[in-house]
Amino acid sequence: MASETRVAGLPVRLNRLWRRLASAVSFLIFGLSAAAFGLVLVPLVRLLVRDAGRRQRMVRSAVRRGMHDFWRLMTFFGLFRCELRGAEHLREKGVLIVANHPTLIDAVLLLGIVEDAAVVAKQALAASPVTGAAVAAAGYVVNDDGPAMVEAAARELARSGRVLVFPESTRTPPGGPVRLQRGAANIAVRTGCRVVVVTIRVSHPLLYKGAAWYDMPMAVPQFEVRVLPPFDVGPIVAAHESIALAARELNERLQRLYDSEMVARESA
C-alpha cells in the first residue's frame, strides 16, 4: 500500500486536523482574553488608577504582552514561522510606523513588539462592546475622521510616542499588489515626523481577507518581516507649495517602495 503524502512530517489528514484544531484553540484563547481584557481588566484599571497617563501606559503594556504571547502561542503550535529583520528601528521614538497588511494577524505581530504604540484602529473596533473600552483606554487613534485622526496622531507623536498605521485600510488579497491610501502620508507631512516602513510577506496565503479563521494552509507559512531605517519627510514637505501635494508625493514614494520591495522579495 502506497504511503500517504506527508506535510511537515505528518500525514495530510492528520496535518489538516491538527492545524484546524490548533487554530481553533488559538482564536478561542484570543477571544476569551480580549473579552476579559475589555470587560474586566480595563474597568478595574480605570477604578484603581487615577492618573490618565499611567492608565494608558498600563493598558498598552498589557496589550503588548497579550499580543506577544498570542503570537508565540501560534508559532508554538506550528501554525507559521517568522523571520524579523531590523527590529531595532521599531525602538525609535516619535515615529510613524507604516506597514502593509497581508493577514489578519499583522497588527498582533507589531503590537507585540513595539513598546508604547498607538495603532490607528478602525471605527468598528472602537465601537465594539468587547474592544471599544480597550481602544479608548489605550489611547489608540480612531480612523473615523481625517482631521481628527491627524490631530490625535500628532498629539501622540509630539510626546515621542509611536503611531502604527496600515495605510491599505484593509488586507491585501493573496498575490495582489499593495495599494496605499493617503492617510499615513497625511499624518507624516502634517506632523513632520519620521517614517519607519515595515514590509510583510507571507510565503503562503494565510488569514487573508475573506478567509475563515480555520482556513490554514497545509504547509507552514513563513513570515518575512523587514523594518527599514526611519527617514525624514522634511525635504518632501519643503519641495512643495502645499501640504496636499507633499502628501501625494510621499504616498507615491511609499507606493514605489512597496512595489519594489515586494517584487524583489518575490524574485529572491
Residue with cell 507631512: 189
Percent of the chain residues past pLDDT 90, beyond the cut: 55
The reported pLDDT for the residue numbered 3 is 42
pLDDT band for position 15 (cuts 50, 70, 90): confident
Which CATH number does the domain 10-267 belong to among 1.10.287, 3.40.1130, 2.60.120, 3.30.750? 3.40.1130
Q: Would you say the pTM of this structure is higher than 0.75? A: yes
The reported pLDDT for the residue numbered 75 is 94
15-19, 27-31, 161-165, 252-256, range with the lowest pLDDT:
15-19
Enumerate the domain spans of the chain: 10-267
User: Above 80 in pLDDT, residue 68?
Assistant: yes
pLDDT band for position 122 (cuts 50, 70, 90): confident
* pLDDT single digits (tens) 170-220: 888 887 788 898 999 999 999 999 999 999 999 988 898 888 888 888 889
* pLDDT single digits (tens) 208-254: 888 888 888 888 999 999 999 999 999 999 999 899 999 999 999 99
User: Above 90 in pLDDT, residue 128?
Assistant: no
The predicted model gives 256-260 an average pLDDT of 91
Burial of residue 240 (CB within 10 Å: 0-12, 13-18, 19+) is: middle
| Residues contacting residue 134 through CB under 8 Å, at least 6 positions apart | 34, 37, 38, 42, 59, 63
The predicted model gives 45-74 an average pLDDT of 92
User: Above 90 in pLDDT, residue 136?
Assistant: no
